[in-house]
Structure 1
Amino acid sequence: MEKIPYSNAIGSVMYLMVSTRPDIAYAVSCLSRFMSNPGTTHWEALKWLFRYLNGSNNSGIKFSKCSEGVKLMGYVDSNYANDRDSRRSTTSYVFTLCGACISWKSQLQNIVALSTTEAEYIAITEAFKEALWLEGLLKKLVSKTQSHYFF
């Protein structure tokens, strides 16, 4: 594994994730945890991610004119204790504006949640902070903005 450019490949997919591909955020987050000591299973998973990207290269973010006014939608979820080493949960959210993705995040939570409910509360708090910031930005840019919806 010493001669395999694992960290360079992770850097490449991170650039894609931040620039145009929010759909790979969770996979990149999981794979980047092993940059200092990757194994063959991590390399196989990274190759699978490259095959996925190659097969879905016609997919992307599409922006179009809003037909029914500016509607900000938010979707949030948590994955309870999915990190096997630290037992921390993952917070994930995505915000869309007129159907197009404008903000997303997938990150390990800072603390260890003791229940799925606690992990969900932590996730919704992080997403709501982002929603308030986006709402403030949209109010400055657009006069009529509809409320947030969380699922």
Structure 2
Amino acid sequence: MRSGFIKSAYDPCVYFNNTLYLLLYVDDILSIGKSKSEISDMKLLLKSEFEMKDLGEAKKILGIEIKRSRPETLMLTQESYLRKVLQKFNMDKSKPVSTPLAAHFKLSRDQSPKTEQDRAAMDSILYASWVGSLMYAMVCTRRDIAYAMSIVSRFIADPGEEHWCALKWIMRYIAGTLDLGLTYSSKYKSQLEVVGYVDSDYAGCVDTRRSLTGYVSTMQGGCVSWK
């Protein structure tokens, strides 16, 4: 809400001189503003209208951990979430690798199961569940696995053994990079400047020979949008 005031059933009017932001997801709320006193006033106003609990300074929301090194740096990670994912799929003891997807993986539809026996063997593997668990991390904080996930997710309807090996490779990469995340710093001079980068391969898809384009936008030294 912009500078101004809000009326409620309990408060005649509450004035806000600065912009305040409320970020909502179902019943979770993050409040952001320049003035701590105005954020406190906003919390009191919300409490007068709704049943709510103030958890204090945000440290975690939706599986995303918020780490601060005041006054200059803020980092978003999903270390705890990813550690649980590795444990769930029995990959927490796996040997880490240094790249999200190795160059020797040339995945294609031709690697999907050819016989009913092979398809039955793959049916026992939770390929879609693995992909979904990693996709959540990729969307939130782990843009470094975006390309690898775009490759393995193409075969989610009919994965083969080679696709499965590539997915396990990504899990091994995650196992060795649990502490990675998004870092933003106030040290950057152009703090409000959004910088974008884009690139594409040439006929990179083995099946269609189409090119794949990727982009990333950064602000204050950290990524804010990618695909």
TM-score (norm 2): 0.45
Q: Distance in 2 between matches of 1:75 and 1:50?
A: 27
Listed as ranges, the matches of 1:114-133 within 5 Å are: none
Q: Give the fraction of aligned pairs with identical amino acids, expressed as a percent.
A: 50
Does structure 1 conserve the Cα–Cα contact (< 8 Å) formed by 2:198 and 2:216?
Answer: yes
Q: 1:37 aligns with which of 158, 165, 189?
A: 158
Letter aligned with residue 129 of structure 2:
N
Q: Distance in 1 between matches of 2:203 and 2:188?
A: 41
Aligned counterpart, 1:10: 131
Q: Which ranges of structure 2 fall in alignment gaps of 5 or more residues? A: 1-121
Q: 1:65 aligns with which of 172, 176, 186?
A: 186
Q: Distance in 2 between matches of 1:100 and 1:30?
A: 24
Does structure 1 conserve the Cα–Cα contact (< 8 Å) formed by 2:188 and 2:221?
Answer: no
Q: Distance in 2 between matches of 1:51 and 1:103?
A: 25
The Cα shift of 1:75 comes to: 1.4
- Give SS of 1:56's match: coil
Higher relative contact order (CA 8 A, sep 6+): 1
Letter aligned with residue 159 of structure 2:
P
Matched, 1:26 2:147: yes
Kindly name which structure, 1 or 2, has the bigger radius of gyration based on alpha carbons: 2
- Give SS of 1:74's match: strand
Letter aligned with residue 53 of structure 1:
I
Aligned-residue RMSD, C-alpha? 1.1
Paired residue total: 105
Q: Distance in 1 between matches of 2:153 and 2:163?
A: 9
Matched, 1:85 2:207: yes
Aligned counterpart, 1:99: 221
Letter aligned with residue 154 of structure 2:
R
The Cα shift of 1:86 comes to: 1.3
Q: Distance in 1 between matches of 2:150 and 2:206?
A: 14
TM-score (norm 1): 0.67
Aligned counterpart, 2:198: 76
The Cα shift of 1:22 comes to: 0.4
Aligned counterpart, 2:15: none
